[in-house]
Amino acid sequence: MPIYEYRCGACGHEMEQMQKMSDEPLKECPICQEAKLKKLISAAGFRLKGSGWYETDFKNTKKKATSKHSSGSCGGGSCGCG
């Protein structure tokens, strides 16, 4: 559930409230009991930055050239290693 921020227009009290997205916004301030609460617009509490967030970030495009035939021990390069 998202956490919403509210500020009272009467007393200035600020608060956070965990609510479902389908819930009605709060209206009454728990401090002064006035119906002056306004929902604030705020940024998300986390950022997805840096590498590692996409499938392509995990792929290694440089393949290691390891082959058991690289020394030419197969008998003259008939397998294509020499």
Report if residue 78 sits inside a domain: no
What would the pLDDT profile of 28-71 be if each residue is shown by its tens digit? 999 999 999 999 987 766 666 666 666 665 566 565 555 455 55
Q: Per the structure, how many domains does the chain have?
A: 1
Amino acid 43: pLDDT: 73
pTM above 0.85, yes or no: no
Which among 18, 24, 27 has a CA at the least distance from the CA of 45?
Answer: 18
- Considering the chain, what is the average pLDDT of its residues? 77
What range does the domain containing 12 cover?
1-40
Predicted confidence band of residue 15 (pLDDT cuts 50, 70, 90): very high
Amino acid 2: pLDDT: 86
Three-state DSSP at 6 gives: strand
- Report the CATH number at residue 25: 2.20.28
Amino acid 18: pLDDT: 93
User: Rounded to whole angstroms, how far apart are CA atoms 76 and 38?
Assistant: 81
**The three-state (H, E, C) secondary structure of 13-73, written as one string:** CEEEEECCCCCCCCCCCCCCCCCCEEECCCCCCCCCCCCCCCHHHHCCCCCCCCCCCCCCC
Report if residue 77 sits inside a domain: no
